Amino acid sequence: MNNPLHYPWVELRQHSHAPTLAGHFRIMRLDHWIKNVFVLPGIVIAIAFTQVPLTTQVALNIVLGILAVGLVTSSNYVLNEILDSPYDRWHPSKKSRPVPGGQVNIPVGGLQWMALFAAGALLARAVNVQLFYLLTLLWIMGCIYNVPPLRSKEWPYLDVISEAVNNPIRLMAGWYMVDGATWPPGSLLAAYWMVGCYFMAIKRFSELVNLSDDERASMGKYRTSFQYYTPTRLLISIVFYGSASMLFLGVFIMRYRMELILSFPLIALVMAQYLNIGFKPDSSAQNPEKLYKEFGLMVTLAACSILIVCLFFMDIPWIHDFFAPSFPYMAN
């Protein structure tokens, strides 16, 4: 009953004695809002596909929607910081986070968690009810990921899959900021999910290969999934997620926008560069909010993003001719 690895609130009570405003601010992880860049493709694709006029109201909805996503993700981060505290002491760097260091009052942190969600949900509802339901789902996924007994982050592979589902949720959020009456293509959502799994699996791989034997034993106590993971298993999963994401993206391109096939070489280069980063010591892949320091990746990503946006609004007839079927379909 007193094992803090199974009953984290026992350990939390021991660290709730010296709260600071800075500690409560830090657990919102505002620097991690950069991850909400995954909302932007949803906005761009919705504008390209739905042809909704870019009115002042649409622009306001986008601003409110992006802020709402940030507040809800911060709510999830607060929950993560609180419930991970007993485990963070086993992690070589996370043991210095605000909650293990006693800089957060736990009951106030719980109120902070709910207040951030409430604020984000109210802003989302001001945009449309679809965005409200979607960000509620994003918040629920944070609970599934962090709260016992589900706590999906403790289960190998499920930790990656359940965390990466936030990617298609973010894409849909961007879409709903523009148009609340339609759905994004399912093939695009599946591709977005799988590429999120690809990035998360590389993060796990980078965390694992940069540990000493003693640190690896501690990481097994920090997160149960690390007792199962090996570099080989993670590399195999990375190949699976990367292949699946490109297959689903290919389906989307063939059905909706053939011109985007010209972006494939740059997309592949971005994925290759990201995998290479995962092999580096103290890799930025372990802390995606620091990826802006990877100059080569940022240049390729910027070029790829510009090309994709252009291709959404350009018609290139010869692409359709080149990939047209070369023989008639057989009649059934």
DSSP codes, 146-176: HSTTT-GGGSTTHHHHHHHTHHHHHHHHHHH
| Mean of the per-residue pLDDT values of the chain | 87
197 and 261 belong to one structural domain: yes
pLDDT band per the 50, 70, 90 thresholds, residue 2: very low
Query: Does residue 46 lie within any of the structural domains?
Result: no
Q: Would you say residue 17 has pLDDT above 80? A: no
Radius of gyration of the chain (CA): 21
Q: What is the pLDDT of residue 216?
A: 62
Q: What is the pLDDT of residue 68?
A: 97
Query: Which DSSP helix (H) or strand (E) runs through 216?
Result: helix 213-222
Query: Does residue 176 lie within any of the structural domains?
Result: no
Mean pLDDT of 124-136: 96
Share of the chain above pLDDT 70, in %: 87
What CATH number is attached to the domain comprising 108? 1.10.357
pLDDT digits (tens, 9 = 90+) for 204-246: 999 888 776 666 655 656 678 888 898 999 999 999 999 999 9
DSSP code of residue 105: -
75 and 215 belong to one structural domain: no
Both tokens of 332, joined, read 């059934």
- Measure the CA–CA gap between 74 and 66, rounded to whole angstroms: 12
- Measure the CA–CA gap between 265 and 268, rounded to whole angstroms: 5
Looking at the 3D structure of the chain, how many domains does it have? Answer: 2
Identity of the amino acid at 12: L
7 and 125 belong to one structural domain: yes
pLDDT digits (tens, 9 = 90+) for 179-193: 988 999 999 999 999
Q: What is the pLDDT of residue 81?
A: 87
Could you tell me which residue, 165 or 94, shows the higher pLDDT? 165
Which domain, by its residues, includes 144?
1-35+55-154
- DSSP annotation string for 5-64: TT-HHHHHHTT-SS--HHHHHHTT-GGGGGGGGGGHHHHHHHHHHH-----HHHHHHHHH
Reported as half-sphere exposure (CB side, CA atoms, 13 A), residue 86 has a value of: 17
Share of the chain above pLDDT 90, in %: 61
User: Distance of CA 117 to CAs 61, 72, 136, 141, 240, Å?
Assistant: 18, 5, 8, 13, 34
Mean pLDDT of 303-324: 93
193 and 280 belong to one structural domain: yes
98 and 245 belong to one structural domain: no
DSSP code of residue 83: H
Query: Does residue 165 lie within any of the structural domains?
Result: no
1 and 150 belong to one structural domain: yes
124 and 198 belong to one structural domain: no
Going by C-beta distance under 8 Å and a sequence separation of 6 or more, which residues neighbour residue 208?
Answer: 216, 219, 226, 229, 230, 231, 234
Query: Does residue 211 lie within any of the structural domains?
Result: yes
Q: Would you say residue 4 has pLDDT above 50? A: no
219 and 290 belong to one structural domain: yes
Question: Which of these, 225, 181, 194, lies nearest to 207 by C-alpha position?
Answer: 225
Going by C-beta distance under 8 Å and a sequence separation of 6 or more, which residues neighbour residue 247?
Answer: none
76 and 22 belong to one structural domain: yes
Domain boundary among 154, 171, 194: 154
Domain boundary among 139, 154, 169: 154
- Measure the CA–CA gap between 79 and 104, rounded to whole angstroms: 12
119 and 10 belong to one structural domain: yes
